Amino acid sequence: MQAIIETYEGAASVPQSEAATGARYWQRLREPDMLVARDIALIRRVPRGRPVLDVGCGNGGFVRACRRQGIDAVGVEAFAASARVAARAGTSVLHAAGEELPVRGGAMDVVRLKEVLEHVQAPLALAAEMRRVLRPGGVFLAYVPTQWSQLYPFPANFYDDYTHVRAFSRVGMQRLLEDAGYERISIEGYTPALRGWQRPLAAALSRGFPFLWRAIAFAPTGGSAA
């Protein structure tokens, strides 16, 4: 692993005022258990000999869930406060910008971006960097809020997160992944249900007006990007 990534260091150098303010945002982030289980099931079907990379890992919950299942995984966080929260929870985390990863090309079997692309000004640069670090034929898994997410009362409204930049249409997501060089792209609607009574409604909404797009794409088998 050390030949591929560097773990987060320097938590003590983060100003305490910054860490305390940022930690509140990252600590309250939670992923639905059903969504985590579904992604882990997908990862288990991918031939693996290399790590899973969770970019924008937040407090590191998904990385820790993978490791509990015996899956080698590491997180990436651009924000020092988030990296601190994840590291203190026992997450293997790399403190780096997703657009410029200190990771060698072709080093990963799976790269996951759970609701990250909507936070950045240049999503194409981020998606292309994810392709660079994937092995040929490696899997890219991403979630993004749909154009309907701003209408939802649950699981959250798009505008509840003040760091959001844009929502995505299915066509926009397809074009982004094509322009980033991915192949065999599939995009489906997904609406997470946080409580049992929401599940029937979430399933119906997923078919017509989903909260999220779940995109699965593959790095070209002819070689990874330089």
Q: Domain ranges in the chain?
A: 11-218
Pick one of 3.40.50.150, 3.30.870.10, 3.40.50.450, 3.40.50.2300 as the CATH number of 11-218. Answer: 3.40.50.150
pLDDT over 60 at 4, yes or no: no
130-164 in b/e burial notation, b at 16+ Cβ within 10 A? bbbbbbebbbbbbbbbbbbbeebeebeebeeeeeb
User: Which of the four pLDDT bands, split at 50, 70 and 90, describes residue 191?
Assistant: confident
Whether 44 and 141 have beta carbons less than 8 Å apart is answered as: no
pLDDT over 80 at 143, yes or no: yes
Q: What is the pTM of this model?
A: 0.85
Which of 9-13, 147-151, 154-158 is least confident?
9-13
User: Which of the four pLDDT bands, split at 50, 70 and 90, describes residue 162?
Assistant: confident
Spatial strand order in the sheet of 108-114 = 93-95, 73-77, 52-55, 108-114, 134-145, 212-218, 183-190
